[in-house]
């Protein structure tokens, strides 16, 4: 069984290693007759980069609604902002490499080097959402390293705004990780009300997406509220990066598949296989 790709998916995968089942949870209402679509790649990339990754890794040209809309906007606008979003690929690659080196360096001059990079590539950071996201992710990690919890919260909230501005799903592994960062920082800063709010948002995303980290449950000392930490090591990218090839293997592996959807789902929408189970989670 295979689900079609979309750069604006309506379902996300959740893999249970114990039962070896792959569940797809709806992150948006799906009316009857609408296609069930997941993302094979990272969503926060320019259209040109997404197209290249999908063509090289999966052998097709994406014509999803998001790609079609962005292509039309680019054609109509013909302005510098639209062009720069898909231009200077080499420059963007170099910036990403340097930002990653800063995160992994652990040197005391990392913050100064980040300031230099921000100034040197100001134009790229101004117009490129992916570069902006990488910049603030790096700043958030450096703030974590020096226990600057207020700055961690500020950068996490900026990252959520960038994500939302790009029209990407509110309930996704990326937003989960960012709200976990806010929870963790608020907890360390003694801001328990903010921590509780973040914990509730994390719990909501995990419930919708089917994510589970039961082995790392942490109890908040606020009216018995529960939150789950999803830090596996100190690197934020360990929480946020999904390898496209790993996803491809998961989607096309011989696993029992359970399809869960918020919208009304008909079995006829799928190419059924003997081991596949289709379930209506909620009828619109």
Going along the chain from its start, the domains and CATH numbers come out as 1-86+244-284 (2.170.270)
pLDDT score at 105: 79
User: pLDDT tens digits, the chain, 284 residues: what are they?
Assistant: 568 999 999 999 988 878 888 888 999 988 888 889 999 999 998 898 899 999 999 999 999 999 999 988 877 766 555 555 555 677 888 888 899 888 887 777 888 999 999 999 998 998 889 999 999 999 999 999 999 999 999 999 999 999 999 999 999 999 999 999 999 999 999 999 999 999 999 999 999 998 875 444 444 443 333 333 332 222 223 333 333 333 333 333 322 333 334 344 332 233 333 233 333 333 23
Helices (H), the chain: 47-58, 65-77, 80-86, 89-105, 110-120, 122-127, 129-145, 149-165, 173-188, 192-209, 237-240, 244-252
The token pair at 227 is 């939150």
| pLDDT tens column, 156-183 | 999 999 999 999 999 999 999 999 999 9
Beta bridge partners of 191: none
Any residues with CB less than 8 A from the CB of 228 and at least 6 apart, and which? 180, 202, 203, 206, 213, 214, 216, 217, 218
pLDDT score at 88: 67
Burial group, residue 127, by CB count within 10 angstroms (0-12, 13-18, 19+): middle
The token pair at 100 is 């990653």
Give the CA distances from residue 72 to residues 47, 65, 68, 85, in Å, rounded to whole numbers and listed in that order: 11, 11, 6, 14
pLDDT score at 20: 83
pLDDT score at 108: 78
pLDDT score at 205: 94
């Amino acid at each position: 069984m295979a689900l079609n790709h979309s750069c604006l998916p309506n379902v996300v995968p959740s893999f249970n290693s114990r039962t070896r089942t792959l569940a797809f949870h709806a992150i948006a209402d799906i009316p009857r007759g609408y296609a069930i679509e997941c993302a094979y790649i990272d969503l926060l990339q320019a259209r040109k980069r997404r197209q290249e990754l999908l063509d090289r890794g999966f052998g097709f040209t994406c014509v999803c609604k998001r790609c079609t809309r962005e292509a039309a906007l680019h054609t109509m606008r013909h302005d510098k902002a639209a062009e720069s979003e898909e231009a200077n690929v080499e420059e963007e690659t170099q910036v990403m490499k340097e930002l990653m080196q800063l995160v992994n360096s652990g040197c005391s001059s990392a913050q100064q080097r980040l300031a230099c990079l921000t100034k040197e590539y100001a134009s790229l950071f101004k117009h490129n959402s992916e570069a902006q996201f990488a910049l603030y992710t790096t700043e958030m990690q450096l703030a974590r390293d020096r226990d600057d919890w207020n700055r961690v919260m500020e950068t996490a909230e900026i990252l959520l705004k960038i994500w939302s501005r790009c029209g990407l799903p509110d309930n996704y592994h990326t937003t989960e990780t960012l709200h976990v960062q806010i929870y963790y920082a608020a907890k360390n800063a003694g801001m328990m009300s903010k921590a509780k709010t973040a914990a509730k948002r994390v719990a909501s995303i995990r419930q919708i997406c089917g994510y589970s980290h039961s082995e790392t449950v942490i109890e908040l000392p606020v009216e018995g509220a529960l939150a789950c930490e999803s830090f596996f090591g100190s690197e934020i990218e360990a929480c946020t990066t999904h390898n496209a090839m790993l996803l491809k293997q998961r989607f096309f592996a011989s696993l029992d598949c359970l399809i869960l959807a918020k919208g009304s789902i008909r079995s006829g929408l799928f190419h059924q296989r003997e081991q596949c189970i289709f379930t209506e989670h909620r009828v619109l």
